[in-house]
Amino acid sequence: MMNRNPIIPFVLIMVMGIGLMFLLSFKGVGDSKDLAKEKEGGGEKTEETAEANPEDFYQQSCAMCHGNQYEGVSGPSLKGVGSKYSQDEIKDILVNGKGAMPPGLAAGKEDQMAEWIVNELK
């Protein structure tokens, strides 16, 4: 009575799967172009506000070792460090590291961070 071909559902699933694979591939190519443009600086700046504000940069990059309130965790406390070191000394520590602190963690922001530390963390 009913002669159905059992291969038809598998062929349909295969065709839909291949079509979906091509669709996602083209979507990925478009996304990769956007990512490349953003990496070159032409896309939207998602971290621009954190880069512009030393306090935000500190919370993002330094607080895990120096604490949210500058109290020191695995790194030393930064309370009073602005009166202990000059701005140039702090910049040197940011550039070259000191003790357990690795160098270059504030790459490109050393002057801004050193000035903020001296003025805000007296």
CA distance 47 to 56: 10
Was 113 annotated as part of a binding site? Answer: no
**Residue type present at position 1:** M
Was 65 annotated as part of a binding site? Answer: yes
Was 64 annotated as part of a binding site? Answer: no
CA distance 19 to 23: 6
- Burial of 92 from C-beta contacts in 10 A (0-12 / 13-18 / 19+): middle
CB 81 within 8 A of CB 115: no
Was 101 annotated as part of a binding site? Answer: yes
Residues contributing to the annotated binding site for heme c: 62, 65-66, 101
Residues contributing to the annotated binding site: 62, 65-66, 101
